[in-house]
Amino acid sequence: MSETSPGLPIGILAELTHRCTLQCGYCSNPLELLKADRELGTQAWTSILEQAADLGILQVHLSGGEPTLRRDLPELVSVLAARGVYSNLITAGVGVDARMVASLKAAGLDHVQISFQGARAETTELIGRLKGAHERKLAAARAVREAGLPLTVNAPIHRRNIDEVELFIELALALGAERLEIANVQYYGWALLNRAALMPSREAVERQIGVVEAARASLRGVLAIDFVASDYYARYPKACMGGWARDAFMITPDGTAMPCHGAASIPHLTFDNAARTPLADIWARSPAFEAYRGTAWMKEPCRSCERREIDFGGCRCQAMMLAGDAAATDPACSLSPLHGRISGLAEDEARGAPAPIRYRRIGAATEPA
């Protein structure tokens, strides 16, 4: 891509529903979850996925909420398979059995990612608030491997489970996963609401990094371990979705197309709906997609920084949230004048006993527990 041309996107995160069997307090979905009656139907999603293939999309991540709650999931997978688009199912796994896996494989599904809220059953139940969830996830993972589909174990890491990183590695190996994602929770949506309940200490984060680095060295060629760092303790920020509207975007259950999960938190942006506006037009001409694409929008110190095309200034939503300006340098960056604010906030919230978790649910957050 260039400053005058966005190039072609390669990936879409398709949030098919906000409904979910679990109530995880770190969920990246917005607090105002969409009910089933606001979800796009099969025909609308089919049209969007066909347009995605026409646009040159190479992979679609089918997510939620819990995407397996959509009865038309095999049909949507088959649309992607027919167009040669790689499909990845991102699921909590608690409703996935061998019959469902067989149906999805027959439809052409390419990959499954199952999230584990804990490496221990009691942690999984604490975070997801569903009795027996851990055993159901294990059964789902085994069904995926027995069907011959590749498996990624996703481990969202926060204060309540950061001491289980070694156990997550053992779990991924035991399940025969090809990949393990150690993903420190990013504080948007429900995770932001629960930041004081979930923020780990700097010391715990540093111990975790040591464990991951050692495991990567010893398991090279056996298990791929991806590591998503904690923004609040980072030296440099991550490129949001690879850079704002640079090569990927997401679509919400009602069809709203956005450059990333949290983009709706930027109040001056208006987003098009993919059920009403052609996907190619949204990608190429949407003012919201153009707003922070490339580097021309940047202020100092980003504008003259040698990393400006590595992390693209970091997260625009986090800049909005913590700096009050979506065009500011992400405070997660050590070069930001506000970096001390984010690191100090993290250390303050990680000190002492964690706050109670407020659990995710459609309608309203539950009372702290």
* Ligand-binding site membership of 333 (annotated): no
Q: Is 20 annotated as a binding residue?
A: yes
How is residue 209 written in tokens? 């990094």
Q: Known binder of ligand: residue 27?
A: yes
Closest by alpha carbon to 104, among 64, 158, 68?
A: 68
3-state secondary structure of 227: strand
- Residue whose C-alpha is closest to residue 362's, from 10, 36, 14: 36
For the chain, the residue count is 369
> For residue 157, what are the β-bridge partners?
184
Answer yes or no: are the C-beta atoms of 159 and 130 closer than 8 Å.
no
CA 33/CA 189 separation, integer angstroms: 10
Q: Minimal CA–CA distance to 317: which of 358, 241, 265? A: 265
| Dihedral angle computed from the Cα positions of residues 101, 155, 188 and 301, in that order, rounded to the nearest 10 degrees | -120
Element (H, E) at 182: strand 179-184
Annotated binding site: 20, 24, 27
Binding residues for [4Fe-4S] cluster: 20, 24, 27
